[in-house]
Structure 1
Amino acid sequence: MKYIKIFSIALFLALSVVNAVDISLTFVRNAFENNQNVAIDTVTGKFYSHQYSSSSYIRVYNTASDFANNAYSTVNLSSASIYNNYFAVENGKVFGRRDSSTSAIASWDANTGALLATNTLNNMVGNNGGTGGFSWGGYSSVNWFNDGGKLYVLGKTTADSSNYQWRITQVNQNLQETATQVFDAAGTLGYAFVINGKLFTATNYSQNSINKVYDLATGTMSSVSYNILTGGSSFYWRDASYDAINDTVYFYNNSDNSFYKVANASVVFNAPSTVPEPQTLFLLGLVIVSSVLFKNKGYFLCKKDVLQ
């Protein structure tokens, strides 16, 4: 019995160990201007960027290749600016933080820059300097993420630096809250991104280790260890964005003012899609049709053969 207990404890400890995974990022390009970021429209496939903070314009890249080559056009935003690094674009609409001190949000027409709608999120603070957002401070509250067409906003529930939780709210394209969850990250967050319903986070902006993942479907937090490597030794991660079309995560490192990416992100970060791929659905349909034909026709053919 004693040995069984020892074995059980050893097995538990072994299963509890989080194995570190090293991920070598691919250099995309220099950002040319400090404090840049990127968002991808999963409907049109276009890339967008703006410069933190209080940006009154967006840059539009028609393809991933255009983004890599810094070939863009500029659209000026009307009536308000984007006060954050993390923003989102979906179906020709730009989504971002609307002011510098509250949880106000807004949407703009990505083609004309016209202001479309505004709203203020419930129970999310808009404080700056790290008390309301990521550990690097600044205007890092009210952070937008686009996960394959699903829009999320992440922020803190209170500006109390010693007693707070994180809130992630799903928002539709009309800026209405459709779902919200509160979780305890056991401390600060430095940067984040969402892949297939999983929120990946790091404790600090200057570390290259992604160490927590929050499952939006189950509401559970797990420890992970993904070391994102650039070949350099200085990290200041101020933006991360998931391209669901090409299954790629883009990172912006403010230390060397460069964009990086990791391809096959859902595989690399073990975040498979819960929605079957079209080819999978097609094969499943063939199986169902075949089984029906076998039941309705094949069975009687076999029965006839037996009778003979």
Structure 2
Amino acid sequence: MVNTSFAAMNAGRTLKVVGIILILSFLIDFIILLLPFQPTDRTWQINLATALVDRGIVPMVGLGMLFSGYWAHSFANDNSGNAGIDLRMPALILSSILGLMFLLIFPLHLNNVRQASTQRVEQINKQAEQAQTQLSRQASQLEAQLNSEQGKAVLDNRRKQLKAQITELLKDEKKYNEALANPALNSNLKELLGKAKANPKDIDKLVTQQIDPQALAKQQLSQINERKEEAAKRERDGAWRSGVRIGISSLLLAIGYIVIGWTGLRNMGTLRGNSRKATTA
């Protein structure tokens, strides 16, 4: 019986110490995460909510071990479970506060993520519009230069050089394969080589399309639009995943802490009421 009492007391003390350490470590992390304090910064709010939710299970485990320690202590003799400061009431109050905090994080984080995602998508669209405007301006300037006699001569010379290079590569299968395998070669030129290989009679047409400034401008504009859509989609998907993961986790943590805190406070009030009645009797 003595050994059982000692083991229960030792186990209870160990569980309490570990539980207190887990709870205190979360509170210390919480204080550190608040620094530097920037409550009006949406990015700071998002990062804080994410960090708190990711660490949110730690104090819940600590509460479980703390109350398990008191339960184990109840099996010890000599009223050893009543020794020291009773931390159950403060722990239940802390649990209720954490429950309310995570309950507030749920809608706030979803709203912050939505607004931040909308803002970043707008920035992506604005940057794409600026790139398109700059490209259109450059294309207009280049077209104006090429309309001169000197510009037409330069353009015609570039067509002839490109045609000669492609013709030479098509004649030598080894050089052709090396060109396709060369990572430094432009992807557009590789595509041009492939089309020329498949249809040698269309070399003049393909070279003209490759050198045509308007065709190049349209192709680059199309690439800018594609990159813009891909970036916007990645941003929306990332915001959706973050909102769902953190939002649902925060809601679950809120439910857990509120159930632990409020149920525990109610039960402790009931137990104390019964104790007072028994004493009066």
TM class by shorter-chain length?
A: under 0.3
- TM-score normalized with structure 2 length: 0.21
The structure where strand makes up a greater share of residues is: 1
Larger Rg: 2
Higher relative contact order (CA 8 A, sep 6+): 2
TM-score of the superposed pair, with normalisation by structure 1: 0.20
